[in-house]
Amino acid sequence: MSELNELYQQVILEHNKTPRNFRKLELFTHDADGYNPLCGDHYHVWLKLDGDTIADIGFQGNGCAISKSSASMMTSSVKGRTVAEAKELFEQFHSVIMTKIGDPVSEERIEALGSLGALAGVREFPARIKCASLAWHALNAALTNNQSTISTESAKD
Amino acid sequence: MIRRKTITKHSTTYPIDSIRNEFPILGTTVHGRPLVYLDNAATTQKPEAVLKVQETYYREQNANIHRGVHHLSEVATFEYEKARGKVRNFINAGDTKEVLFTAGTTAGINLVASSFGRTFLQAGDEVLISAMEHHSNIVPWQLICEERGAVLRVIPMDDNGELLMDEFERMLSPRTKFVSVVQISNSLGTVNPVRRIITAAHAVGAKVLVDGAQAVAHTKVDVRAMECDFYAFSGHKLFGPTGIGILYGRQELLDAMKPYQGGGDMIRSVTFERTTFNDLPYKFEAGTPNIVGGIGLGAAIDFVNTVGLDAIGAYEQELLQYGTALLSRIPGLRIIGTAAQKAGVISFVLEHAHPHDIGTILDREGIAIRTGHHCTQPVMQRFGIPATARASISLYNRTADFDALAAGLQKVQEIFG
């Protein structure tokens, strides 16, 4: 499989075309913007925490196939998980896509990522790694925001 | 499917092969494919002559300028000032005093905004820029307008990317103190009617800066015929090194303006009580400049003059027409920027593929284009798009480059359907 085919796998193209959870949450506890000023990719992520569990998550915005599919797969992957589990998943995902070209990444590590493993090919494209991690950084920022009450205010952007 | 002409016809007299031979990088490969370089609006490649003078300078001439009595300092000063003379001739400035070396177009515009602004702008005055300006011709004016209490207004454009000139002329009033416009748009390719803009602005007493970053490598510039007050451009978009640029300014304005940066070379005498400033152009050239950059720019200008801007302009128009026709036939492709007067920039969007994905796929084919907002976010907002893919041409491009681009775009469509 060529590097391009590995980057643009069917599952990625499919998530790009019909992103999951591509909606604003009316009731949310946390939210944050993910913006890459250099390329203009821009997403907003909304979260509803129930105790320590991510009960619901949605995103909206604009960007390339890699950033949009990554955001879509992220929302599917973390929904129903605890905050700690979501952060752990991000750590694993981040360490895979940040692995230097040429350094081996074991099948187990990719499989442990579930559907997110489809994005492992992005590490062959250093300029695009930031696309794959953009929504995750927004999620991280949202979780750090520490809003204690559910907000129905519109997003800050 | 993309239909393509297989036979292309260039001006028979244009020496494309010998020109390409002057640029070593054009013979390299990227991802195993011959480089197709269509990102010239971002920066141009460098000919042998420019590479050579820079190496010669550091090997044989390196010294600080304008201060040493030793041989090398005299040589370096001579070469640097000779380059200034070449620039003067190139843009037909009246005097080398009016030719300031800067770090680039951005630095030149910042110098004018800050220095002209602090000298002449008053609360309630108006500064006009256009809807298609690069961020570097927006932000410096926002900063100085805020500082001086002046008002920044924007000349609108239509769906083709042409300025609404009637609207512009209605915006002009005795409050208008400055107009700063781009000669050729980097994201749309529009060639603006700068002569008409300058005449109208002068009629109400306003001064005009023309951002020539995208113009100087493609069309002859004569600042005196244009009658602009300031003209800024970068060396690296003109086959010269990065980090060097030119600001032309009319002498009486530069004389009246406050200095921009203080330091060595820009002073006549310094005491702790009072400093007097050097003559033009040195009043605006504080500190040790980019000497090798200036010399490299001089060599780049020699190169351009050898080919001739009339020949370059005519050749690039042919290429632009060829590329526009070819890309227009691709289903789902929309060209952004369709002004009647255009230079060699083709910005486009594809129906199902985001520009960054287009850029990555083309890169694997060895094709370099720019994707993103091109430092013109308001232009993207005006057209309701987040980004474009942009192919921009230079004197060394060929119709074959557009054939490769079209084939690469077909690959994009195969992936994105």
- Number of Cβ within 10 Å of residue A145's Cβ equals 12
Kind plus residue range of the DSSP H or E element containing B165: helix B165-171
Q: What pLDDT is attached to residue B5?
A: 44
| Nearest CA distance, A129 vs chain B (angstrom) | 12
Q: What is the DSSP letter of B181?
A: E
Does a structural domain hold residue A151? no
Residue that is written with structure tokens 């907003």 in the block: A44
Q: What pLDDT is attached to residue A3?
A: 86
Using pLDDT thresholds of 50, 70 and 90, give the confidence band for residue B12: low
Q: What pLDDT is attached to residue A157?
A: 35
| Predicted confidence (pLDDT) per residue in B301-345, tens digit | 999 999 999 999 999 999 999 999 999 999 999 999 999 999 999
Phi, psi of A120 (to 5 degrees): -60, -30
Average pLDDT, chain A: 89
Does a structural domain hold residue A47? yes
Pick the catalytic residue: B154, B375, B385, B407? B375
| Residues B148, B222 contacting (CB under 8 angstroms) | no
Distance, CA of B289 to CA of B293 (rounded, Å): 9
| Nearest CA distance, B104 vs chain A (angstrom) | 20
Does a structural domain hold residue A154? no
Cβ–Cβ of B356/A41 closer than 8 Å? yes
Count of domains forming chain A: 1
Is A131 in CB contact (< 8 Å) with chain B? yes
| Predicted confidence (pLDDT) per residue in B27-61, tens digit | 999 999 999 999 999 999 999 999 999 999 999 99
Contacts (Cβ under 8 Å, ≥6 apart) of B71: none
Phi, psi of A52 (to 5 degrees): -105, 5
Cβ–Cβ of B386/A41 closer than 8 Å? yes
Question: Count of CB contacts below 8 A, A vs B?
Answer: 48
Is A1 in CB contact (< 8 Å) with chain B? no
CATH superfamily, with its number, for domain B16-30+308-416: Aspartate Aminotransferase, domain 1 (3.90.1150.10)
| Predicted confidence (pLDDT) per residue in A9-37, tens digit | 999 999 999 999 999 999 999 999 999 88
Domain-wise residue ranges, chain B: 16-30+308-416, 50-306
> Is residue A148 scored above 80 in pLDDT?
no
**Mean pLDDT calculated for residue range B172-200:** 98
**Mean pLDDT calculated for residue range B136-152:** 98
Kind plus residue range of the DSSP H or E element containing B318: helix B309-328
The ipTM (two decimal places) reads: 0.87
Q: Phi/psi class of residue B235: alpha, beta or left (left: φ > 0; alpha: ψ in -120 to 50)?
A: alpha
Q: Look up B375 and say whether it is catalytic.
A: yes
| Predicted confidence (pLDDT) per residue in B385-406, tens digit | 999 999 999 999 999 999 999 9
| Predicted confidence (pLDDT) per residue in B199-210, tens digit | 999 999 999 999
Closest CA to B27 of B366, B372, B301: B366
| Predicted confidence (pLDDT) per residue in B263-290, tens digit | 888 989 999 999 999 999 999 999 999 9
Nearest to A62 among B360, B386, B416 (CB): B386
Which tops the pLDDT comparison, B333 or A154?
B333
Using pLDDT thresholds of 50, 70 and 90, give the confidence band for residue A67: very high
- The CATH number for A68's domain is 3.90.1010.10
Closest CA to A38 of B260, B216, B83, B371: B371
Q: What pLDDT is attached to residue B85?
A: 98
Which tops the pLDDT comparison, A36 or B359?
B359
Query: Residues, chain A, total?
Result: 157
| Residues B370, B219 contacting (CB under 8 angstroms) | no
CATH 3.60.150.10 fits B50-306, yes or no: no
- Going by their DSSP bridges, the two strands B126-130 and B176-182 should be labelled as parallel
Give B173: exposed, middle or buried? Use CB within 10 Å, 0-12, 13-18, 19+: exposed
Domain containing residue A11 = 3-145
Average pLDDT, chain B: 95
